[in-house]
Amino acid sequence: MGWARALFWLLPRRLRSYWVLLAITSFGILAAVTLMSVGAIYSRALAEGGLQHALAATSPTTMNARVTVRERPLNPADYRNLRAAVEEIAEDRLGYLIKDTQRFGQSQSNITMVLSSEPGPPPRGSPAGRPFFLTDFESHTRLTAGRWPQAAPVIEDKVLVMEAVLGAPLGFAVFGLTGLTESSQVHLVPFLTEPDERITFNIVGLVEPIDTDEEYWMDYSSYFEEVDVEDRPVVPIYLTEESYFGGLGQRYPTMVADFGWYFYLDTGVLTADLAGPTKGAVSGLETDINKRFPRSVVLSGLKNTIAKYQTQLTLARVPLYLFISLVVLIILYFLTLVMGMMARSHSDEAGLLRSRGGGLLQISQLLVIAESVVVAAAMVVGPFLALAIIRFLLLDTIDPSGGGNGDFSVGLSWDMFIMGALGGIFSRAPHPSRGSWLPWQMNARMPAACNRSSPRTNWICAARLRSAPSKTSPATSSASTRRSMQR
């Protein structure tokens, strides 16, 4: 305690003797800490801004996830189990991103369609019909004629009768469906070996999409226009989900179909820290689905978007870190020169303290405490100064939207304090020319006569003899030092 009181008594008197060098050193240390923190903050700002730009430049429809499980039976019980399993996997992997989910189901594209209700084999070259359902379909389309399906499926002998709607007739002109209007019928022949068994659809309405650019429509054309599958035109026929399973599923439970899910992702919640885990989550979704249901397909452009963003971010960070490193190294070089001057100014002071009984540890504490306080203060103040520089001077150089209207900001984070601490440690790293090493240098250069405790050695040897624990107690040493400084 006696030495601690002497230490704080001596410190302000020492500072008056070399405050100019200490001020220069303080500025250099603060500059090094601030630049290191600026590098961390600006790098994070680049990461956040770059991610926002990458997401804004990519269509949401491309980034949404589409899961398709192929060739599953139409049995309603099997579909319930399939739905529960797929949605559980998706929730585990991408639950924090999913903002909406839509389901769809479509029969195979090999069911022949005919317009005539007459029994008998269908004509050669007949198109195929594909019944499908899509949840919320009616909310995103409008009727151009007729009404929506209402009646429940009816089984009449070998014929299953259901109500359905088609896309506007314009899309079907290619293969002779120009005359298809409300109250028309189309017939599907599920088994060519039994042409009398039919699935009859009473077309009660014609529809078209309200907004084809809406995110809901992942691929709207496949629901309203004919598509070619293996050089054969396929006509989509819309049913409600209840009719799909209550009619087709009950009548033909062993018939296979493709079932799918559209997972609409809220990419606005993504941050730079979540980008990597999210890319892994998309890959994990594909892996888990295929392990559980082989031959499934998972499509999402989010993984490729993140991968491209990470590559561009790495290329943008390289010149930033090179520039910051060069500037910090220059600052540290001049700090070394200034510290060398301070070390030479401390040499006489260290010799005086040793001659008055000061121990190695005590002298080291006195010589480094001022610089240590400066370093600690710079490590605290530097990150806040760096944050102010970024917000008011450099943040405008990052424009995520590309049009100057991006809502973007940065705040405090742990990485800026870590980088600032590294800058402070580098600036205060021990150097042989600094005053904090003088007591050990003096001790290493003492002549051999000191080890023999000869009373006729120089003043350094005498100081060592007087500072030995058996000759001088810490309290006596501190009192002697204080009296010497007072004189």
**292 half-sphere exposure, CB direction, 13 A CA radius:** 20
| Same domain for 430 and 405 | yes
Coil, strand or helix: which one is 256? Answer: strand
Does a structural domain hold residue 313?
A: no
Per the structure, the complete domain to which residue 271 belongs is given by 60-308
In this structure, are residues 207 and 238 in contact, taking their beta carbons and an 8 Å threshold? Answer: yes
Residue 101: DSSP 8-state: E
Residues pairing with 145 in the sheet: 206
Looking at residue 7, its pLDDT comes to 55
One-letter amino acid identity for 396? Answer: D
Looking at residue 276, its pLDDT comes to 93
Does a structural domain hold residue 134?
A: yes
Does a structural domain hold residue 113?
A: yes
Scanning 360-410, the segments in alpha helix (DSSP H) are 360-389
Domain boundary residue among 308, 339, 366?
A: 308
| Sign of torsion over alpha carbons 133, 138, 143, 148 | positive
| Same domain for 122 and 33 | no
Does a structural domain hold residue 470?
A: yes
| Same domain for 235 and 378 | no
Residue appearing with tokens 């084999």: 121
Token digits of residue 298: 């998972």
Does a structural domain hold residue 269?
A: yes
Domain boundary residue among 279, 308, 337?
A: 308
| Same domain for 436 and 338 | yes
| Same domain for 126 and 165 | yes
In this structure, are residues 31 and 327 in contact, taking their beta carbons and an 8 Å threshold? Answer: no
In the chain, the number of structural domains is 2
Looking at residue 429, its pLDDT comes to 54
Residues pairing with 237 in the sheet: 131
Task: Give the residue from 115, 127, 113, 106 showing the smallest Cα distance to 232.
Answer: 127
| Same domain for 138 and 197 | yes
- In our burial notation (b when 16+ CB lie closer than 10 A, e otherwise), range 130-155 reads bbbbbeebeebbeeeebebbeeebee
| Same domain for 202 and 327 | no
pLDDT in tens, the chain (487 residues): 555 565 555 556 566 656 666 677 777 777 777 788 888 888 888 888 899 889 988 999 999 999 999 999 999 999 999 999 999 999 999 999 999 999 999 998 889 988 877 777 888 888 888 999 999 999 999 988 788 999 899 988 889 999 999 887 644 543 344 455 556 788 899 888 888 889 999 888 888 899 988 999 987 677 888 888 888 888 889 999 999 999 999 999 888 999 999 999 999 899 998 999 999 999 999 999 999 999 899 999 999 999 999 999 999 889 888 888 888 788 777 777 766 666 666 565 656 556 655 555 555 555 566 566 666 777 777 778 778 877 787 777 776 665 444 455 666 666 666 766 666 666 555 444 444 444 444 444 444 444 444 343 344 444 443 444 444 444 444 444 444 444 4
In this structure, are residues 264 and 100 in contact, taking their beta carbons and an 8 Å threshold? Answer: yes
| Same domain for 64 and 51 | no
| Same domain for 17 and 69 | no
| Same domain for 295 and 329 | no
Looking at residue 155, its pLDDT comes to 86
Q: How many CB atoms neighbour CB 483 within 10 A?
A: 10
Domain boundary residue among 308, 340, 371?
A: 308
Cα distance between residue 243 and residue 139, in whole Å? 17
| Same domain for 51 and 67 | no
Cα distance between residue 196 and residue 255, in whole Å? 18
Does a structural domain hold residue 381?
A: yes
Looking at residue 239, its pLDDT comes to 94
| Same domain for 378 and 357 | yes
